[in-house]
Structure 1
Amino acid sequence: MFRKNNSNLQERLFDDFQHLHPSQQKRLMASWAPIFYEHVFSQIDEAPFAPLYSADNGRPNFPINILLSLEFYKHWQDLTDEQLLEQASFNYQVMYAIGLRNLGEEYVAPRTLYDFRSRVHRHMLDNPESGDLIFGQFNNLTTHFIEETGAKTDEQRTDSSFVTANIQRMYRVGLIFDVLFHAIESCPETFLTDELKEVLKPTFKTNVLYRTRPSTAQERIESLLNLGQQLLDIKKANQEIADCKTFDLLERLLKEQGIWNEEQQKWDAKLSKNISPDSLQSAHDPDATYRHKGNRDSVGYVANITETCSKENQAQFVTDYTIEPNTTTDVDMLNDRLPDIKKRTGVEKMYTDGGYYSETVDQTAKQTEVEMLYSSLTGKEPNPDRIPYTAFEIEDRQIIKACLEQHKAQRATFNEKDKTLSAHFDLETCRNCPHLEQCPVKLQKKDAVVRVSQKTILADETRQKLANGGQQENTSRRTAIEGTNSALKRSQGLGKLAVRGKHKVSAVVGLKIIGHNFQQFITYLARKTKETIKQVATSFPTTPPQGVSLSF
């Protein structure tokens, strides 16, 4: 049964804090603990978690604000569960931060943590339309931090980074064996053929994984695929085992790794180069994908984060994050998230690199009234001797009105289907133009014509902005977010997580980013304290009066 936890608001006649030495009380109150209690624990909204529990039956739930606070603390400090539970039991500083004032006041059992995580995960799977519970807490706390610090959100920057789930990188033979093994293992033994039972024996695994030569790998793969088909045939003939999820994974694997040979009624193995990056990468994580970027291979996910970047802010906060399979492009992620970021934060300028540049992002930015500012552009550099399309007079990126020499177009059209502009000019005028060699115009029998896509016009406009001094400023504003990604990986273990599956990965990333924002908030308060001390110190020409402390 769901019940809100308000016990921290009740006055206590006696508590362990009173038994501390005054100097210890002073040190505790100057630490992070009361800041966490006031600005994190006390800001948690427990109501969205009510659907995880029965409304009117069973024993009351363990306090949600304590469980969430422990999760925030764990990922802020990058602790294991064992370390977290030890801190929650014996570290009074941690207990104070989560609203407890007496040792042993609440016992947090390992199963309590695991059950809570399981409930949150199931809710996310079963109710995708109701929103991400962890993202909701992230948004509430970030809004609070921004309000408390007065940080401006009109200027923001965004960047992506690979995230590896808790899976082992496997080659084809190992992957296929893994999926097949788990599918066979989940099938009642009475349905299995002798050939399928052999797969469960340790010697079979040894022969497959460690005694397969490169020259026989293709043959071994086809053998495993056809064993998988045997199992699927058994499933079709026996409806009582048809609902097993491991069979669905096996069926997916066969389609991705093989080609069905109708004539011989068997699976032929695909060539490695013909396997999609979206194909299954692990028997334990069906959402993970493969991506090669630069000189690096990655299996897992990609995280896209957005943070404030106003020069007036004394602390910058992450305002948005999203997790997708790592085959998802930067363009798709930003295009999907930009309207929500605008709605929640009121962003007006977004700084990013050339990987986010596209016509679709530009259209979304226009619709949401966000100015996109790029540090560079990807793709082939244009010929510097060619006249850019920005030199033409173009109305709404649809109608070419005139050329560089202000010669009016005789006829101009816009193809809505392929987003292409066309303009026809007088043939003799173009032939005698001093810019003919550099102009993109093409001479025809009756006239001269210019054809260009909206995408090219947008690229030329963006390059012109960068050439006019915007590149250095845009790069300067954007670069610091790479430091944020680095800090999340170094300090909070964002690079490789201890969970699998998109929903779990997304939840853990959200918890780590909440921890990061809390660290930024602490840094802000420390700076403000130092500034206050400095102002007090400078207000006295000599030694400050008795009773004024200048220590931090």
Structure 2
Amino acid sequence: MFKKNVKHLQSDIFGLLASLPKASQKRAKCSEEQQFYKLIFCNIDEDIFSVLYSDVKSRPNSPINAMVSALILQSRKAWTYEQLFDSIQFHILVRLALGLDNLHEMPFSPATLFNFQNRLNDHFVKTGINLLEQVFDSLTQKQLKALKLKTNIQRTDSFLAASNIRSYSRLQLLIEMLIRLYRILSDEDKQKFQQQFKPYVEKTSGQYIYTLKGSDLPHELGKIGTLYHWISQNVSPLYQEHDIFQIFEQVYAEHFTVVNQKVAVKSADQLKSDAIQSPDDLDSTYREKNGKKSRGQAINVTETAHPDNSINLINDIAVNPNNKDDSKVFNKRIDKIVSQTPELDEIHFDGAFGSSDNDIKFEVYGISAIQTAIRGPKPEVDLGIEHVSEAEYIVSCPRQTVKSQLTRKRYKAVFDLSICGQCALQEKCPTLIQKKGRAYYFSHEDYLRKKRLRAIESIPPERRALRNNVEATVNEFVCKLRKG
């Protein structure tokens, strides 16, 4: 049963903070953790997560704002689960950050936090809705208003990364499979193969990953891959009739490959969307809505970038498969970014984000797209296009300017052949030689593209390098991700 956590709003005159010496109270109130409590914890909309719980009267959920805040702190501090729970239990400032005003209460157990993460993941797989993203959006809106930031100028960039959360789940599955295998071994074989299985079967899979840092995961996956190969060669042939070993062989093939007689771990993007997610369910899949894979390694970040802002905030994050074109990913985000920040009228990005589809959306929303690099070779003769009216454009080359004509499907600009004949660039010119002159055919999309490519020339020089600053934001993400 869903229930909000409002207990933290009732301060105790004999509580944890009040029991500290005056000097310590002052430091605690000025600490990063206290600011986290005020800006993040207190502003988490717990109603977002009500869909994860039953409407039937039953045992209420653990405090959601505490669990979400804990996951944020864990990511920010790069803690293992063990370090997270030690900090919650023994670190006064961390307890204050989670709205705890005593030393004896634990807001949730490790099992509860794992179950909460599983609920989030299951909901995302079934619906394609990321509830943590909704929390981020809600917090961002409140912070933009509180800080009175200008949002009309923004910048965006993307980077490749491997999610530690996904890797934890992957490793837990692989360990769980080993535990299941060990259970069905004969007593004789358990004794015989004890040395190989021992590190993984003395704990639950959750307990095993509990002490791991994100940086440990590549090594752990490699180590378990070697063991899987050994089991496939030495143990599987003895238990071929057992279903669990058939599932094991499928999991082994899904997650590992043998290259030059060495076991290699498949990268996350090599895993198929219908890969086994649980030893209990061969039909379990890891998909988004409409059958699209949810495994993603490309992260797109958009943030405010007005020069007048004393600080800037990230206002949109998108995670997608790393084989998705940046321009297509961004196209799906534009509507949301505009709905969150309707004042947006200038967006900075590099050449990977430019496309005709995006140009059309920018035109609809009245957004000036500032592209800092051009995809592909630069044209040797660049023809300029100005939009005069719905039916007319002015097209210019280095030597002449003409008005366009409307054809059945496109627009056409015809240049004087006598002038073209004297041009040193005529052999490199993109126009077509016709009886009445040299013709250049184009569409409204071509006009929008040229407008985007030249937009950077229309803004002050000090604004032309705004996109570069987003790389500092990207670096903050990359340094915490193992494959940044």
| Structure 1 residues 454 and 278, CA gap change in structure 2 (3 angstroms) | farther
State whether residues 359 and 449 of structure 2, in contact with CA within 8 Å, keep that contact through their aligned partners in structure 1: no
The offset of 1:340, in angstroms, is 0.7
Q: Does 1:494 align with 2:478?
A: no
The offset of 1:43, in angstroms, is 0.9
The offset of 1:380, in angstroms, is 0.3
Higher deviation after alignment, 444-453 or 304-313:
444-453
Tell me the equivalent position of 2:376: 379
Tell me the equivalent position of 2:407: 413
Q: Does 1:134 align with 2:132?
A: yes
Q: Does 1:449 align with 2:443?
A: no
| Structure 1 residues 440 and 54, CA gap change in structure 2 (3 angstroms) | closer
The offset of 1:65, in angstroms, is 1.3
- Distance in 1, matches of 2:469 and 2:88, equals 34
Tell me the equivalent position of 1:311: 307
SS in 2 for 1:17: coil
Tell me the equivalent position of 1:205: 229
Tell me the equivalent position of 2:160: 162
Tell me the equivalent position of 2:333: 337
Q: Deviation digits for residues 134-181 of structure 1, max 9, x if unmatched?
A: 01110111112222211111111000000124589xxxxxxxxx9xx9
State whether residues 155 and 349 of structure 1, in contact with CA within 8 Å, keep that contact through their aligned partners in structure 2: yes
- Distance in 1, matches of 2:227 and 2:351, equals 52
Matches within 5 A, 1:202-351: 205-206=229-230, 280=271, 301-346=297-342, 347-351=344-348
State whether residues 387 and 447 of structure 2, in contact with CA within 8 Å, keep that contact through their aligned partners in structure 1: no
Letter in 2 for 1:37: Y
| Structure 1 residues 441 and 91, CA gap change in structure 2 (3 angstroms) | closer
State the TM-score, normalizing by the size of structure 2.
Answer: 0.70
- Distance in 2, matches of 1:400 and 1:477, equals 31
Tell me the equivalent position of 1:113: 113
| Structure 1 residues 52 and 393, CA gap change in structure 2 (3 angstroms) | closer
The percentage of counterpart residues that share the same residue type is 27
Tell me the equivalent position of 2:87: 87
SS in 1 for 2:106: coil
Q: Deviation digits for residues 494-518 of structure 1, max 9, x if unmatched?
A: 3449xxxxxxxxxxxxxxxxxxxxx
Tell me the equivalent position of 1:362: 359
- Distance in 1, matches of 2:476 and 2:105, equals 35
State whether residues 34 and 97 of structure 1, in contact with CA within 8 Å, keep that contact through their aligned partners in structure 2: yes
Tell me the equivalent position of 2:472: 483
| Structure 1 residues 18 and 352, CA gap change in structure 2 (3 angstroms) | same
Matches within 5 A, 1:466-477: 466=456, 468=457, 473=462, 475-477=464-466
| Structure 1 residues 393 and 160, CA gap change in structure 2 (3 angstroms) | closer
Tell me the equivalent position of 2:18: 18
| Structure 1 residues 495 and 319, CA gap change in structure 2 (3 angstroms) | farther
State whether residues 287 and 325 of structure 1, in contact with CA within 8 Å, keep that contact through their aligned partners in structure 2: no
Bigger Rg, which one: 1
Letter in 2 for 1:88: I
- Distance in 1, matches of 2:13 and 2:450, equals 71
The offset of 1:395, in angstroms, is 4.8
Tell me the equivalent position of 1:509: none
State whether residues 424 and 447 of structure 1, in contact with CA within 8 Å, keep that contact through their aligned partners in structure 2: yes
Higher deviation after alignment, 372-381 or 395-404:
395-404
Instruction: Tell me how large the CA RMSD over aligned residues is.
Output: 4.4
The offset of 1:108, in angstroms, is 2.9
| Structure 1 residues 445 and 145, CA gap change in structure 2 (3 angstroms) | closer
The offset of 1:106, in angstroms, is 2.9
- Distance in 2, matches of 1:422 and 1:393, equals 13
| Structure 1 residues 444 and 165, CA gap change in structure 2 (3 angstroms) | same
| Structure 1 residues 432 and 81, CA gap change in structure 2 (3 angstroms) | closer
The offset of 1:369, in angstroms, is 2.0
- Distance in 2, matches of 1:203 and 1:46, equals 43
| Higher relative contact order (Cα pairs below 8 Å, separated by 6+ residues) | 1
SS in 2 for 1:304: strand
| Structure 1 residues 142 and 495, CA gap change in structure 2 (3 angstroms) | farther
- Distance in 2, matches of 1:402 and 1:88, equals 66
| Structure 1 residues 112 and 327, CA gap change in structure 2 (3 angstroms) | same
- Distance in 1, matches of 2:425 and 2:228, equals 74
| Structure 1 residues 352 and 26, CA gap change in structure 2 (3 angstroms) | same
Tell me the equivalent position of 1:274: none
